[in-house]
Structure 1
Amino acid sequence: MYIVTGGAGFIGSNIVQGLNARGISDILVVDDLTDGRKCLNLADANIRDYLDKDDFLRRIQAGEDFGTVEAVFHEGACSSTTEWDGRFVMAVNFEYSKALLGWCVARGVPFLYASSASVYGMGPTFREAREFERPLNMYAYSKFLFDCHLRPQLAAIPSQVAGLRYFNVYGPREQHKGSMASVAFHFNNQLNESGRLRLFDGCDGYGPGEQLRDFIHVDDVVAVNLWLLDNPQVRGIFNVGTGRAQTFNAVARAAINWHKGGGIDYIAFPDHLKGRYQSFTEADIGALRAAGYDKPFMPVEDGVPRYLDWLAQRA
């Protein structure tokens, strides 16, 4: 059996699809379906069982077994960067992850978990080292603290443990995220509705729409997760991005080209984001490459049309 927490969410449901593509359906999905719309992410998936995240945690804390578990993909979390209820975020992200890590280590089960590039704050260096980490919100802090909790233990843990610091992920099965969905998703909706895109004006020395992010297609994220599954000797904390920052304008152009038309309107940069906005992110993927991952990553010129093809097929 494979366990995927957050398995009805964005990255988790794509990992389920990746396992299905390998002919694997013996999967336990753990999630919170208070928002029942997330079930649509699993409607075309094959899984064995489902457990609510609180029921699963109780069973983990009680030391229950689930038969032979091949690996745990821990993608479940409160991912809202605007959630400031620290007790809630720490319970859901930090304490939950610690409990699941302990359960996996005690049984020798590979533990592959979602960290976040948000731990680096404003950057400008995005490398897996303490001196470059300065989280700016509760979500980022909870992810950062779990990485800090793991680091001194890692060398003594005999089974595989790997943390993946995802950068700006976009692609299928993110529609439930609302305002937290990727710009590619929002650009597609804007073009469908009005034929015009809205991008921020210049800030931090960048021109209109020229702010840079490391945009990575979710299929590449799944490929890294499955590569780790195939290489249990690899352990540690790794950035998962393309290693190449691209502009919001580049994403916009990719969407406009796919729609065969459209325009861009640049809107005033919001006052409340000034000094708190990541105008540049770019993953240093040296550690991932050194560990042996050698597959190429899709640029937005390839990834955005691939995503919009998927959305069009389901419209």
Structure 2
Amino acid sequence: MAGFNFIALLLIAAASTMATVTGPVINQDFPDPGIMSYGGVLYAFATNGNGYNIQVAQSTNGGSAWTVLAKDALPNVGSWATTGATWAPAPLSLGTNSFVLYYTATNPSTGSHCVGAATATTPTGPYTPRSSPIQCQQAGGGAIDPSPFRDTNGQLYIVFKVDGNNLGGGGSCGNGNLAYSTPIMLQAMNADGVTPNGNPVTILDRSAADGPLIEAPGLVHIDGTYFLFFSSNCYNTNLYDTSYATATSVSGPYTKAQAPVAPFLLTGQFGLTSPGSASILPDGSLIVFHASTSLSPLIRPMYISHPTWTSSSVAP
């Protein structure tokens, strides 16, 4: 019996070691999570829900357990925006008592989305929005899914998606005929985190293999390689997945990873359905993302991954 117990313990330990994807760690609708580490605490922000424009949660044990806070991180979406579709928040710490929250909201004058920024003196806010958006890209369908990145030389950027499938065309996510581009853009930012520096540049776009779109970019630099995460296909189908592209320069050119090292996550892996919208800690130690536990109604709790990196690939 003692020998049996010892073997059982070894099997449990091995299973624990292999369990690189865990969740749901927030077992309620908490889509498009953005993560930040500050003062030994992890903070995650999510798309509007549960009566809040921006949901916020925190973890004091490295991400395995989370507390969803009973507060709105962004009570006011800004004079340029309307409430009801405040998406994909992404937090950034600029240092002691200085934080930026990037987010997506609807511009009522155009009906499309813009990327905005808000600032706060505490990690969970409340964040105060700037008086005007950072990017709108109206002609391209709007701007969504911002995510910050600080390069090794200290230069700050955001990446975001031009929402081409918002222009219509029918089919999956409004772009089933693949008529419109959905490029991922790189925008340099001033040190204040809220002022654009120059014009954005395209660093990636969808191909036919990606379905109607690519979106939800996230950028990280690991061992000399820039890894640009993105999701493809439509968020409300089980084809939605997470993949990545790599480059040796922040502005590219980026090369999409191919099988067998991609996609990074897809339906069927780890019991997941429609895993997407990955957000990465700058050191690459933790990735948060959502996956669907119900497609109708759409419910997307938050999961975590402790990835394994090489100089050219990443595995969950």
TM > 0.5 fold call: no
Greater per-residue helix proportion: 1
Return the TM-score normalized by structure 1: 0.28
Task: Identify, as 1 or 2, the structure richer in strand.
Answer: 2
Q: Which has the higher contact order (CA 8 A, sep 6+)?
A: 1
